[in-house]
Amino acid sequence: MQEYIINGLLIVVALLAVILQIIGMRPSAGMTKKQKVMLWRILTATVLLLILQVLGAGAFEVFGSAGRWVRLAVFLVDYLVIGYDILKKAGKGIRNGQVFDEHFLMAVATLGALALAVYENGDYLEAIAVMLFYQVGEWFQSYAVGKSRRNISDLMDIRPDYANIEREGKLEQVDPDEVGIGTIIVVQPGEKVPIDGTVVQGESTLNTAALTGESLPREVKTGDEIISGCINMTGLLHIQTTKEFGESTVSKILDLVENASSRKSKSEDFISRFAKIYTPAVCYAALALAVLPPLVRMFAMGLDAGWETWIYRALTFLVASCPCALVISIPLSFFAGIGGASKAGVLVKGSNYLETLSQAKIVVFDKTGTLTQGVFEVNAIHHNEMDKRKLVEYAALAESASSHPISKSLQKAYGMEIDRSRVTDIQELSGNGVIATVDGHQVAAGNDKLMNRLGVQSIPCHSVGTIIHMAVDGKYAGHIVISDIVKPHSKEAIQALKSAGVRKTVMLTGDAKKVADSVASALGLDEVYSELLPADKVEKVEQLIQNKPEKEKLAFVGDGINDAPVLRRADIGIAMGAMGSDAAIEAADVVLMDDDPMQISKAIKISRKCLGIVYQNIVVAIGVKLACLVLIALGFANMWLAVFADVGVMIIAVLNAIRALFVKNLQSSEIPADRMGPRVRYNQAIQEIRGRQGAMYDIRLTVSAWCIIGLLGVLFIRSLGFREFHQEKIIPWLVGIAMIFFLIALMFN
């Protein structure tokens, strides 16, 4: 029966190798030359092994007494076809002083199994099959890593190769690094925008998917700011650069992604430390398993040593102990998580920040540019004694010498070109406003203090926003209401955060209390602190950090240069990347590429999914491996179980890690109850159960673990030889019990 199962597995591997080779012929498959060569090696070794299985040992009797060695030579050829690179890597590790790695374990185990087969004139199938299935697992691991790297590489495609500069009526391609600030560059349809700038001529639509994850094109026209990395889809654009290439958005993004893997999470550091201790430990344990029991049997019990049996167990123990699943899948999970996040328009600077983000329970926001657009507009005109358009004209002309956002909003509302010749005697009074002569009339535009200074009685305004009081020739002429606009998705973003498990949302702003309270109330924020200086924001964040539970993390979201100190101080800093300041982006740990606050909840969900996958892989890899090691040491399992414990678990862990790449199913918005499907309602119910029954969940895990440990202890006692042990009956029972406990635990994980 075993022979049929083995032959069936080999046929499946051969068919799989053929199918993958056919798939690999397509360019879209993305297989490397090395991966294709490995598939040919797997196919060759599998077919040869099948032929040897069909022929059997009797086929070599024609060679007489030399038939045994001819058979060994043929099997060795098959072994070298599939495993020569593993032997080479093991040898290189020994030369470099790095002995205890997975290649060393596989080399010792398979060569030892071959030696035992030669000694016993037995079957070489196990040794070669172990190496074959190990290489199959390595191939899947390699392909999975390549897939996640290609996702990052897709982002790298935003790197521009050149910039177009028009000289003497002809376009000349130059290196983007050679383009200075203020240079007019030309971007044709289908080309990447190489450098950040402002559109000075032309209209077009931009593909920003590589930057923001947003599939909808963005319309741009003359006067619009544009960031590098976008693809120009339709019209011809002339862009005046505002940054050097090294400081542009595309360069900063590429730098962030390329350096993300250098910042390891606590989980990755744990696995690295664990592998350094674990691998030598299992090697010495295998040596002890091969030597100590035979000596005890010889000298203490007066029995036959049984060296062959215990050496075989030790070799099987080595195969099963290989920590590939942990060492490979955990970093791959974080790498895939960072890649999936970048695909969704969320740049995470390192896996340590991804881990911290998953624990965020308090989210603190800046207001202007974060929850609001940071674009001031004229919303209303009250108590005007003249035509509204004339009043705005006077205000725009009086403020024409100022670069303040308020001044720009007035000029935008005027909508016509400013004629500076109409304006004379401009006086800018700090903290008050502006006094100027416009068309021979004295025009004052400012706050209450300015009106009081001029002896003009102003009329209070009940609207929320910045109030610009106007006086013309010493008489009150009305006031203009200018206010910041709340971003379209800000309210939904706050709701999405709460549905994602964020306990508290807070807003910190330097704006007036009336304005801040109005925005906070409209968005549904839990707390708001207004009229704060940058230093006050840092102090407030420190207070919030001190008052929160230790395990909870605080995230701060900002965009301005004044937010940089707070972004540094918070447990995790999140910056608006599209129009945010360079200082904020530099100080932040996470960057949102489209300035949409809805991305915050998505980023948290991505991080939690990634960490969930990491913990699943750790539990499965360590749990299965330890159980198999105990069974092997007690003699209840053979090399085939060792193959599953090593290769099988590694393939499962790697395939599970790849799930971190797929983030499209993570909904950022809250779904109305009447539109929820059964699966969504079930998941929400499970989340509620987890929240209410956290203690019971821990108890179940603890009880499950001790039950499994106790069962293994009973097996150990019964394996000492005092009672007959029917392994064919107990093993299914053991596996069944373990699977039941595992499934119970997973239901609430």
**Which amino acids are annotated catalytic?**
366
In sequence order, what are the beta bridge partners of 204?
Answer: 220
Q: Is 503 helix (H, G, I), strand (E, B) or coil?
A: coil
Q: 299-323 in b/e burial notation, b at 16+ Cβ within 10 A?
A: eeeeeeeebebbbbbbbbbbbbbbb
Q: Is 557 helix (H, G, I), strand (E, B) or coil?
A: strand
**What span, in angstroms and rounded, lies between the C-alpha atoms of 103 and 41?**
18
Cβ count within 10 A of residue 455: 8
The answer to whether the beta carbons of residues 200 and 239 sit under 8 Å apart is: yes
**What span, in angstroms and rounded, lies between the C-alpha atoms of 17 and 11?**
10
The answer to whether the beta carbons of residues 217 and 206 sit under 8 Å apart is: yes
**What span, in angstroms and rounded, lies between the C-alpha atoms of 447 and 97?**
75
**What span, in angstroms and rounded, lies between the C-alpha atoms of 640 and 114?**
15
The answer to whether the beta carbons of residues 575 and 590 sit under 8 Å apart is: yes
CA angle 145, 149, 155 (to 5 degrees): 160
**Sheet arrangement for strand 218-220:** 218-220, 204-207, 231-232
**What span, in angstroms and rounded, lies between the C-alpha atoms of 262 and 284?**
32
**What span, in angstroms and rounded, lies between the C-alpha atoms of 289 and 114?**
19
**What span, in angstroms and rounded, lies between the C-alpha atoms of 379 and 410?**
11
The answer to whether the beta carbons of residues 326 and 622 sit under 8 Å apart is: yes
Place of tokens 């407030």: 540
Q: Which of 426, 386, 387 is nearest to 407 (CA)?
A: 426
The token pair that represents 31 in the structure block? 């297989």
Alpha carbons within 13 angstroms on the beta-carbon side of residue 264 total 11
CA distances to 619, 624, 649, 695, 742 from 701, in Å: 11, 15, 21, 10, 9
The token pair that represents 265 in the structure block? 């999470």
**What span, in angstroms and rounded, lies between the C-alpha atoms of 251 and 159?**
8
The answer to whether the beta carbons of residues 78 and 127 sit under 8 Å apart is: no
Place of tokens 């929400």: 684
**What span, in angstroms and rounded, lies between the C-alpha atoms of 648 and 625?**
11
Phi, psi for residue 504 in degrees, rounded to 5: -140, 140
The answer to whether the beta carbons of residues 136 and 49 sit under 8 Å apart is: no
Q: 659-672 in b/e burial notation, b at 16+ Cβ within 10 A?
A: bbbebeebebeeee
N-terminal to C-terminal alpha carbon distance within the chain? 38
The token pair that represents 512 in the structure block? 């007036």
Q: Which of 191, 258, 286 is nearest to 230 (CA)?
A: 191
Q: Is 714 helix (H, G, I), strand (E, B) or coil?
A: helix
**What span, in angstroms and rounded, lies between the C-alpha atoms of 38 and 692?**
50
How do 475-486 and 466-472 pair as beta strands?
antiparallel
CA distances to 130, 315, 614, 648 from 137, in Å: 11, 19, 19, 7
**What span, in angstroms and rounded, lies between the C-alpha atoms of 276 and 77?**
33
